[in-house]
């Protein structure tokens, strides 16, 4: 595999990691990432995953609307999803449902993130990314997730080892079947099990993982970030990022830089390539062309060959084309990515000789 596996660990109700994913998708697609994996049953198609999510979102939105209407009758107009879980549950118990208030509170708290997940699915479709469920089969998955809150966590813990094995096996299978990059959105409490399993396979250096999160708490009485850090036994130390919405873009740029640093070029285009040839002629030096997943072509020049590599960087950058340094076979190269795309090809041809 020439691209690292990228895992975004998350608290499922938190909108910040969803914002990170949505913002990253176009850049990830350009880097050759074509498969987005989720904690969804492995036996479902992409269409079935989307249909199930849309059905659940429609049902939960209706429940939220009913709750808001009942609360408005007693003068309560606060944004429900921003409330602490316990406070919200107490309010719903008093004015909405004395029996189902816990279930309703759960649905209300996760709705903003669920709506963002729908936007992510839509963005992935525009980019022709495939969606894959890599969790246990739907019968076991639905039994586990449909239990009420008081029993659900014990059922999830009982299945943890089986789920970790299943998810890693499915990721490794995808990895061997395709050259395209893989992104995986996953609950943060699975971090230790997943990373330990990758280490068993000797693949820890081919995985980039991040735990972006907001400053919000699910319930104000519990520091759930501290709980995650404790339960994952240090796995997420140095991988945890407190972000506000204004930080999303710069964080995404960091992820792309780290992906770039771990990208491995394995397929050189040895026959004639017009893009690398143009650069070679323009700068009077030897540019090599390499194919990345997704049929992206990068042009590479050994930084020791031209007399003034900084001048090449400056002249390329002046056209609005980005460059970066990479290591290949023990040597350092300047890389100009995606030279076979129409936009980049047109720009580099404006470089003055």
- Give the pLDDT confidence of 209-238 residue by residue, as tens digits: 999 999 999 999 999 999 999 999 999 999
In the chain, where are the structural domains located? 5-262, 267-348
φ, ψ for residue 297, nearest 5 deg: -110, 130
pTM above 0.85, yes or no: yes
Read off the tokens for 195: 């990373």
CATH classification of 267-348, choosing from 2.60.40, 3.90.1070, 3.40.50, 3.30.70? 3.90.1070
Question: What gap in Å lies between CA 281 and CA 298, rounded to an integer?
Answer: 16
Dihedral angle of Cα 169, 170, 172, 173, to the nearest 10 degrees: 110
Q: Identify which of 238, 156, 215 has the alpha carbon closest to the alpha carbon of residue 190.
A: 156
Residues of the chain with pLDDT under 50: 1
Summarize pLDDT for 309-342 with one digit per residue, the tens. Answer: 999 999 999 999 989 888 888 888 999 998 998 9
User: Which tokens is 79 given?
Assistant: 């944004």
**Contact status, residue 183 vs residue 36, Cβ threshold 8 Å:** yes
| Long-range CB contact pairs, 270-276, < 8 A, 24+ | 273/297, 275/299, 275/339, 275/340, 275/345, 275/348, 276/339
């Amino acid at each position: 595999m020439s691209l690292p596996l990228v895992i975004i660990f998350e608290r499922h109700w938190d909108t910040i990691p969803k914002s990170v994913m949505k913002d990253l998708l176009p850049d990830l697609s350009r880097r050759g990432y074509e498969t987005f994996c989720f904690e969804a049953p492995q036996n479902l198609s992409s269409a079935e995953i989307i249909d199930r999510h849309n059905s659940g979102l429609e049902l939960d939105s209706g429940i939220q609307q009913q709750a808001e209407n009942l609360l408005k009758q007693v003068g309560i107009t606060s944004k429900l999803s921003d409330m602490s879980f316990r406070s919200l549950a107490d309010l719903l118990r008093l004015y909405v449902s004395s029996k189902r208030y816990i279930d309703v509170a759960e649905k209300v708290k996760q709705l903003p993130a669920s709506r963002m997940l729908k936007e992510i699915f839509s963005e992935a479709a525009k980019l022709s990314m495939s969606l894959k469920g890599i969790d246990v089969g739907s019968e076991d998955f639905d039994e586990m997730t449909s239990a009420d809150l008081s029993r659900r966590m014990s059922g999830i813990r009982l299945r943890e080892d089986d789920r970790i094995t299943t998810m890693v096996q499915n990721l490794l299978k995808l990895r061997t079947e395709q050259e395209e990059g893989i992104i995986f959105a996953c609950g943060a409490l699975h971090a230790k099990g997943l990373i330990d399993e990758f280490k068993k396979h000797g693949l820890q250096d081919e995985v980039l993982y991040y735990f972006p999160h907001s400053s919000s708490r699910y319930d104000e009485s519990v520091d759930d970030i501290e709980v995650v850090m404790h339960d994952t036994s240090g796995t997420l130390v140095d991988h945890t990022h407190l972000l506000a919405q204004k930080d999303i873009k710069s964080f995404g740029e960091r992820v792309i830089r780290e992906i770039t640093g771990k990208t491995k070029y394995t397929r050189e285009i040895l026959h004639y390539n017009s893009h690398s040839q143009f650069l070679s002629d323009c700068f009077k030096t030897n540019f090599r062309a390499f194919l990345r997943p997704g049929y992206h072509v990068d042009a590479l020049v050994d930084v020791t060959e031209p007399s003034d590599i900084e001048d090449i960087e400056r002249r390329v950058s002046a056209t609005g084309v980005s460059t970066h340094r990479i290591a290949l076979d023990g040597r350092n190269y300047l890389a100009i990515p995606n030279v076979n795309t129409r936009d980049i090809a047109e720009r580099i041809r404006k470089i003055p000789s």
